[in-house]
Amino acid sequence: MLQSKVILGFIIFMGLAAGYLYYGQTSEVLVVEPIEIDPGLQVFSTITVDSSILEDERYKLLEIFGEMPVDPGMTGKRNIFDPIQ
């Protein structure tokens, strides 16, 4: 039992040492190149949201009908792996 633990510890140590040596050799700093913006996307930079509709009286008079929250009801097939009830 002790021998298998020693072997397992040795394998883990060797894996850590190999990983350290492998990743320790890469000292190069990665440089990220700037992304070019597609000119077609510039159209979206001028989009604004008009929230004045939320202040309109007709919007404020809207009412919610039905259950809140909505009852999903029974949909789909019965789960065959569900315990028998």
User: Within a domain: residue 34?
Assistant: yes
User: Within a domain: residue 80?
Assistant: no
8 A C-beta contact, residue 59 and residue 53: yes
pLDDT in tens, 37-80: 888 888 888 889 888 989 999 999 998 888 788 777 877 887 78
User: Within a domain: residue 22?
Assistant: yes
User: Within a domain: residue 32?
Assistant: yes
User: Within a domain: residue 76?
Assistant: no
Largest separation between any pair of C-alpha atoms in the chain? 81
User: Within a domain: residue 21?
Assistant: yes
| Count of beta carbons in the 10 Å neighbourhood of residue 84 | 3
DSSP 55: G
Range(s) of the domain holding residue 12: 1-60
Give the pTM: 0.32
Question: How many domains, the chain?
Answer: 1
User: Within a domain: residue 81?
Assistant: no
pLDDT in tens, 6-44: 999 999 999 999 998 888 776 677 788 898 888 888 888
